Amino acid sequence: MHIPASTLRALKRAVGQQNVCTDDVSVLLHAYDCSLSRMRPDVVIHLTKAEQVARVVKILHRHHIPFVARAGATNHAGSCSTPKGGAVLNLAALTNILQINTQAGYALVEPGVVTAQLGRELKPLGFFYAPDPASQKACTLGGNLAQNASGARCLKYGGTLDHVLEITLVLPDGKTQTLARQETGPDWVGLLCGSEGTLGIVTQLKVKILPTPKHVRTFLSAFPTLEDCVQTVTDLTARGIIPRCMEAMDQLTTQTVEQMAPAGFPTNAGAALLLELDGEKRSLEKEEKIVQEVCRQNHALKIQAAQNNQAALWWHSRQNAYNAMARLAPNVLVCDGTVPRSELPGTLRKVRQILAQHNMTASLLFHAGDGNFHPQLIFDERNSIETQRAGKVAKLILQACIDAGGTVSGEHGIGVEKRSMLACQYNQDTLDLFSHIKHAFDPEDLANPCKIIPVDYAEKTAGTAKNEPGKLQNFQQQFKQQLASEKPFFITGTNAVLQTQETFLSVKELNEIVDIDLTNYTVTAQAGVTLKQLARTLKKHGVYSVLPEEKGTLGGAFSSGCYPAFYAHTTGLQALLPNGSCVRYGGKLTKNAAGYNLLRLFAGAQGAWGVVTELTFKIYAVKPAPLTANPFVPLRQNELYKRMKKELDPKNLLKIPEETAHVQ
Amino acid sequence: MFNDPCLEPLFPRRHVEELQTSLGNKTLYNSVSACNRCGICAAVCPTYQLYHQENFSPRGRNQILRLCLEGKIKLNKENRVLREALISCTLCGRCNEACAAQVPTAEHVLEMRRALGLRVLPRLLQSFLQLRDHKPRLFSTLTRTALILRRLWVVKIAWLFQITHLPGLTWINHLDDVLPARIIPLAKVLAKANVQANQENPELIYLPSLEAEFILPNIALATLRLAQKKYRTETWQNTATGLFSYVYGDLRQSRKMLRKLLARHAKTGNGKRPLLTDSVDVYLFLKRAPQLFSGRKLWQERAQNLAQNLLFVTDIFPTDSDDKIPSTPGSVQLERSALFERQGPAFEKAEKILTTLFGKNFVKCFYTDADTPAFGYTFVAPKNATRMSLKTVEKIARLQTQQVVTLSGLAALELAYVLKKFYPAAQATHFVHVNR
């Protein structure tokens, strides 16, 4: 696309002459990231101060020029590529760590700070930043937020989503918003995590930091088969053990890694499991015994506890797994499909079949605890047949993940490379909602365009949601009737909190607990299930949720904003929208980086843009401390709320309490 | 499998035909295609740390080469961005260490510089230093004359009359600042210390670096003393290795110089006599010398033979416990400033010796840590070099180091100058002086 000289002049005035580059070399050097996609931008703008971002975005918006923010450009999904041309905003120079507050447990950083750099600064203070993507030496915190990156420690500590407290966001029209997790209303920060810069550019982040655990124990176990290894992971979770990392590797991986960085990995065994526990000394001893017992039950050939600095050596080698594969061929295509843990053995069998059928070499390496596996396909992109084959195999592997109830991305995001696969994962209603979200934030489609949402997905999707039988079908009809009457109404559960006298639609008849999965440790329940009913039913099965046995419904606990800590435990949702569509998102997955995070859009939204009808969330074998309810506060109707409301409920039929309303 | 494109198909001898990498020999195209753009290299690249722009990152430089080979960018000397990207590279090799596929970015940059015919040093300095290859005697005479003139305040006078402020001459000021106030010729130093440069029935060849021979004769003296404890030594004075032409000049000239050295070595002691150098840059260059002769069996064998018989000062350093220096109040660290590499046997051995000597006072540093840009970079990109040196000083000050040990005389000179200016509490010394 042609960028007018007047626009370039305005940009140069905003950031300095030398920081606006249109020459061939600069432009071509910003046409790629770590993926296979190469798309040429028209101008590269190097930003040296965070304040410049809003100024530049305003200019670009005024001249309708698409833009893509980028820093480390280490992503594997083509999220930094520029299919429409336009501007690349290089944020890599925004590297200031503005504040580290160990007392309040946060660090205030700019988006260009390299993840490992923050770790290095925190180490002497006795703190650490939990998300640990494998590329942490080069990737940046801004990029981590954009992709919702996570790593080995995700199982216990969660991904970037769970560690960002506050962000300063420059919207695609150049307006600046500060969004904090403490505020009422939808979890905007959560929605922005993993949005790949399609909803705006983050210029400052406040991230959670944690005290370094004093006691850590690391184990390396060898198993005859990968299946035994995966079964061990499932059994450990069933016994209530949540290690901070559980990394599994197949034989090819251990052999290749041993050649590059010898660490004593069992190269003769079919699989190896690297497992790390942290916590109090006494509980560690107890957990250690259980780990050894479970490993032995699953035919472990060897169980070795790390001595001296052996753990560092093991982790160094594990982190070099990608590097080791990179030595075998010029290109490594890393898939990051994720499946429910119970589906891992079956999916791995399928993946091996696919690899054998297509004569491809790949190492299988995975964050076993969260069902996120990384087949690393090696090939040479200069050989077009080989490249096509790698792309085809990657798609087949991702399809296998979808078939197993999983997602096409656990932590790398969608970008341009996987967006076509999203049509296989989600139904049309869900993809429509993604489009609405994008449109609400960015009506002109300027911020990182052509990402996440598949092109012409209507023809390719897995179809619209099935007309659910029973109670949901009845409720859906009631909901549609109420909408057809065009009279505004509230969505309530037992109406215990709102106690409204006005028109309302209650979800209390949706009171079924659909599924209790004791392998993946998830429960799926309808929104009208009361918290008391839920607690009693779970107790019968010997499992527990974090929700207390109090008044109110599950839907209310999720939507009211009274239990913000509950959001992190939710993994899937079904909701009805004012246009009558039914969206589904997530499932029994520990992590999902495919598409916008709908869980966070509906969490605390108080039914402003739809009614949540079903939720899937984590349960535990050991009773966790129940959450305490915050007082109900009507949500803040900020700029983002207004945009989203206008987009999803233009007739304002779904009522929410006024901001000034006092609710018991 | 692929038709490997090359930068100058009509002039293949201007380039290294097969690069010697730690993962085997590779053509230029195969070597650069091994970069899968993961970006890990950027985190350790000193120029990327300054600019945070892709043009200044190893990944960017590799992509430039790949795009050139694939015909998507035209190598053009007049292209400012391209020129800056290539000139700014310090050739330090940190990226190579960090890279999963061990992509030798420094070699790629040199190949592009050669294709462009880029002369990155100031013209006068370049011509002067090239004399060492072409006319070593003239070079020697001119150097001595220049040093005498310097003692006669000619440089200061030129500075006063602003002659050295003229474009193309500013490097003289920096050179004058960096050089020691008084430079004594090597012959005098050896005579005063009663050390013979050439002994009878030699068992070892000492190849003094340019700086040891002309600027810092004490390095040559200390090296000879160390060597003569174990071996009868001969010294090959004023012998160019081809390193200067390899980095700053024409590869054909570099090959020519190297052939001279290889022929001389082959004739001496059946080509089995060990050859000692005091500069890590020369050591690393000679180790990779075989790659300059791909397809030429005789020369390649000779180069391999020389590489096998090559010794660095760390190899002859006594490591007996008697040499242990009583604990010093301040700490000591090893500066890894070098061309092409930051890890390997030379560095490991130096680190081991320093650990033995200084015990807990030796502070271990890593290849990722800041250090002085090597081998004349301060004359190539003075502004970048100053900023990098300041980072080095910052690191040294943070560790409260008193003594910084370098593995080349040039690095010691540069670092000593910066330390004197910004952190005089620390001193830079060449490795051979550690034992004194």
Distance CA B55, CA A4 (A): 24
Q: How close A91 gets to chain B, by Cα (Å)? A: 8
**How far is CA B43 from its chain centroid?**
22
The region, left, alpha or beta by phi > 0 then psi within -120 to 50, assigned to residue B230 is alpha
- In the beta sheet, which residues pair with residue A303? A221
Query: Percentage of residues in chain A with pLDDT exceeding 90?
Result: 49
Classify B226 as helix, strand or coil. Answer: helix
pLDDT of residue B436: 46
Q: Are residues B90 and B226 in the same domain?
A: no
The reply to whether B102 and B171 lie within a common domain is no
Q: Which of B30, B42, B72 sits opposite A28 (nearest CB)?
A: B72
Interface touch B79/A29, C-beta < 8 Å = no
Q: Above 50 in pLDDT, residue A323?
A: yes
Whether residue B331 is contained in a domain is answered as yes
Tell whether B5 is within 8 A of chain A (Cβ). no
**Is B348 inside any structural domain?**
yes
**Domains identified in chain B, total number:** 3
Q: Do A324 and B100 touch (CB under 8 A)?
A: yes
Q: Are residues B197 and B260 in the same domain?
A: yes
Three-state SS for A638? coil
Query: Is the same domain home to B310 and B321?
Result: no
pLDDT category at A220 given cuts 50, 70, 90 is very high
What does the alpha-carbon distance between residue A160 and residue A142 come to, in Å, rounded to a whole number? 10
Q: At what angle do helices A384-403 and A344-357 cross, to 10 degrees?
A: 160
Co-location of B147 and B194 in the same domain? yes
For residue A449, give the DSSP letter.
T
User: Which pLDDT belongs to residue B1?
Assistant: 47
**In chain B, which residues have their Cβ closer than 8 Å to the Cβ of A330?**
30, 33-36, 101
d(CA A80, CA A413): 11
My answer on whether B196 and B328 are in the same domain is: no
| Residues contacting residue A652 through CB under 8 Å, at least 6 positions apart | A488, A645
Cα angle B127, B128, B134 (rounded to 5 degrees) comes to 80
Residue B429: beta bridge partners? Answer: B405
How is residue B7 written in tokens? Answer: 């930068």
ipTM of predicted complex:
0.89
Given A25, A33, A326, which is nearest B64 (Cβ)? A25
Residue ending a domain, among B116, B150, B181, is B116
Residues B144 and B237 in one domain: yes
For residue B75, give the chain A residue with the closest CA. A25
Q: Which amino acid is at B214?
A: F
pLDDT digits (tens, 9 = 90+) for A106-155: 999 999 999 999 999 999 999 999 998 888 999 999 999 999 998 888 88
Pair (B29, B55) in one structural domain: yes
Residues from chain B contacting residue A138 (CB–CB below 8 Å):
38-40, 42-43
Residue B34 sits at the chain A interface (C-beta within 8 Å)? yes
Q: Measure the CA–CA gap between B273 and A614, rounded to whole angstroms.
A: 81
Q: Which residues make beta-bridge pairs with B398?
A: none
Instruction: Confirm or reject CATH 3.40.462.10 for domain A220-403, answering yes or no.
Output: yes
Report chain A residues touching chain B, CB-CB < 8 A.
21, 23-26, 28-30, 32-34, 46, 72-74, 90, 92-93, 95, 112, 114, 116, 135, 137-139, 320, 322-327, 330-332, 380-383
A617 neighbors A523 (Cβ within 8 angstroms): yes
Q: Look at residue A662 and tell me whether its pLDDT is greater than 80.
A: no
Residue B87: what are its φ and ψ, rounded to 5°?
-70, -35
Question: Would you call A363 helix, strand, or coil by DSSP?
Answer: strand
- Mean pLDDT for A490-500 is 73
Residue A664 reports pLDDT greater than 50:
no
Q: What is the largest CA-CA distance in chain A?
A: 72
Residues in chain B within 8 Å Cβ distance of A29? 54-55, 60, 63-64
Nearest chain A residue to B101, by CA: A327
Is residue A420 a contact partner of residue A402, using CB atoms and an 8 Å limit?
Answer: no
Q: Check if B98 contacts A (Cβ < 8 Å).
A: yes
Pick the CATH number of A471-655 from 3.30.70.80, 3.30.160.100, 2.60.120.10, 3.30.465.10: 3.30.465.10
Interchain proximity B36–A116, CB inside 8 Å: no
Rounded distance, CA A137 to CA A74, Å?
10
Q: Residues B349, B301: one domain?
A: no
Listed in sequence order, the residues at least 6 apart from A301 whose beta carbon sits closer than 8 Å to its beta carbon are: A221, A222, A223, A224, A266, A269
On the CB side of A613, how many CA atoms lie within 13 Å of its CA? 24
Q: Quick one: fold of A5-90?
A: 3.30.43
Cross-chain residue pair A46–B73, CB shorter than 8 Å: no
Q: Give how far A150 is from chain B: nearest CA, Å.
A: 17
Look up the CATH number of the domain holding residue B368: 3.40.50
Residue of A nearest to B102 (CA): A327
Phi, psi of B165 (to 5 degrees): -90, -10
Quick one: pLDDT at residue A97? 96
Separation of alpha carbons A433 and B211, rounded Å:
70
pLDDT tens for each residue of chain B, 436 residues long: 456 888 888 888 888 888 888 888 899 999 999 998 989 999 999 999 999 999 999 999 999 999 999 988 888 888 889 999 999 999 999 999 888 888 999 999 999 999 998 888 888 888 988 888 888 889 888 988 888 888 888 888 888 888 888 888 888 888 888 888 888 888 899 999 998 888 888 899 999 999 999 889 999 999 999 999 889 999 998 888 999 999 998 999 999 999 999 999 999 888 889 999 999 999 999 999 999 998 888 999 999 999 999 999 999 888 665 555 655 667 899 988 899 988 889 999 999 999 888 888 888 888 878 788 888 898 999 999 999 999 999 989 988 888 999 999 999 999 999 999 999 999 999 999 885 4
Sign of CA dihedral B242, B244, B245, B251: positive
Measured CA to CA, the distance from residue A431 to residue A414 in angstroms comes to: 13
Contacting residues for B113 by C-beta, under 8 A, at least 6 apart = B86, B87, B120
CA–CA dist A413, A436 (Å, integer) = 19
Given B65, B96, B116, which residue is the final one in a domain? B116
Q: Which of B27, B35, B49, B53 to mutate to test the interface with A (most CBs of A within 10 A)?
A: B53
Name chain B contacts of A25, Cβ cutoff 8 Å: 55, 64, 73, 79, 81-82, 85
State how far the Cα of B26 lies from the Cα of A257, in Å rounded to an integer. Answer: 22
Q: What pLDDT score does A201 carry? A: 96
Cα dihedral B364, B367, B368, B370, rounded to 10, equals 80
From the list B40, B52, B60, which residue is nearest A29 (CB)? B60
pLDDT tens by residue, A378-398? 888 888 899 999 999 999 999
β-pairing verdict for A570-576 and A522-526:
unpaired
Instruction: Give the single-character DSSP code of A629.
Output: P
Other Cβ atoms within 10 Å of B216 Cβ, number: 27
How many residues in chain A? 664
Amino acid identity, position A240: G
Q: Which residue has the higher pLDDT, A19 or B118?
A: A19
Residue type at position A603: A
Fold identical between A5-90 and A97-211? no
* CA A122 to each of CA A112, A134, A145, A211, B267: distance values in angstroms, whole numbers, following the listed order: 17, 18, 19, 9, 59
The CATH number of the structural domain formed by A97-211 is 3.30.465.10
- Across the range A552-576, mean pLDDT stands at 91
| B399 in contact with chain A, both atoms CB, cutoff 8 A | no
Name the residue ranges covered by the structural domains of chain A.
Answer: 5-90, 97-211, 220-403, 471-655
Predicted confidence at residue A28, as pLDDT, reads 93
**Which of A25, A30, A96, A327 is the best mutation test for B, with the most CBs of B within 10 A?**
A25
Strands (E), A253-371: 271-279, 302-305, 331-334, 362-367
In the structure, what pLDDT confidence band is assigned to residue A470 with cuts at 50, 70 and 90?
Answer: confident
| Residue written as token pair 């700086």 | B211
pLDDT for position B284: 94
Asked if residue B3 belongs to a domain, the reply is no
User: What is the DSSP code (8-state) at residue A370?
Assistant: G
Contacts of A46 in chain B (CB under 8 A): 52-53
Q: Which of B280, B314, B348 is the last residue of a domain?
A: B314
Domain for residue B2, yes or no?
A: no
Please list every residue in chain A whose beta carbon sits closer than 8 Å to the beta carbon of residue B60. 29
Residues of A with Cβ-Cβ distance to B30 under 8 angstroms = 330
Asked if residue B370 and residue B390 are part of one domain, the reply reads: yes
Question: Among A201-215, A335-349, A384-398, which stretch is predicted with the lowest mean pLDDT?
Answer: A335-349
Do both B26 and B111 map to the same domain? Answer: yes
Q: pLDDT at position B320, please?
A: 63
Distance from CA of B409 to the nearest CA of A (A): 32
**Contact by Cβ (8 Å): B33, B103:** no
- Cross-chain Cβ contact A46/B43 below 8 Å: no
Domain assignment of residue B107, given as a range: 12-116
Do B405 and B330 fall into the same domain? Answer: yes
Looking at the domain assignment, is residue B6 inside a domain?
Answer: no
Q: In degrees, to the nearest 5, what angle opens at C-alpha A43 toward C-alphas A41 and A47?
A: 115
Inter-chain touch B43–A24, beta carbons under 8 Å: no
The DSSP code sequence of A499-546 is ---S-EEE-TT---EEEEETTTTEEEEETT-BHHHHHHHHHHTT-B-S
